[in-house]
Homo-oligomer: A and B are copies of this chain.
Amino acid sequence: MSNTQVQVLPLLEDEPVAPCCPPLTERPFTAEEAETAARMFKALGDPVRVRLFSAIASHERGEACVCDISDVGVSQPTVSHHLKKLKEAGLLTSERRGTWVYYRVEPSVLAAMGKLIALPAAA
């Protein structure tokens, strides 16, 4: 890690919504739980965001520079817009290191999503 003037920014700059909620199969969700889960699902309800999310999640250490993940067939401003949406939904965190911003999928987020989807037997 380079020794830049900005070393560790707060990981969640926007209000995070994940983790949340019991498994979808456990009991009917309350209105509040549904709001939270829907916000997370909605963030992934766009093909470009799914591609960005999978590109970051599958990158080394679940972390990628924006320079690593721009190959999704849309312009750089559009990439930035979608990354912002994913951050707002709490699915990504970001950290500036020198020139670049690095995006990361927190394991806790994947764990929370996995819990949400868990089959009854695994719940």
Contact = CB atoms under 8 A, between A and B. Distances in A.
B38 A41 contact: no
Tally of this chain's copies: 2
| Number of chain A interface residues as a range | 35 or more
A58 interface: yes
Main secondary structure of the interface of A (DSSP, over half): helix
A77 interface: no
A53 to B, nearest CB: 6
A12 interface: no
A98 interface: no
A44 B20 CA distance: 15
Interface string A34-78: 110111011111111111011101100010000001000100000
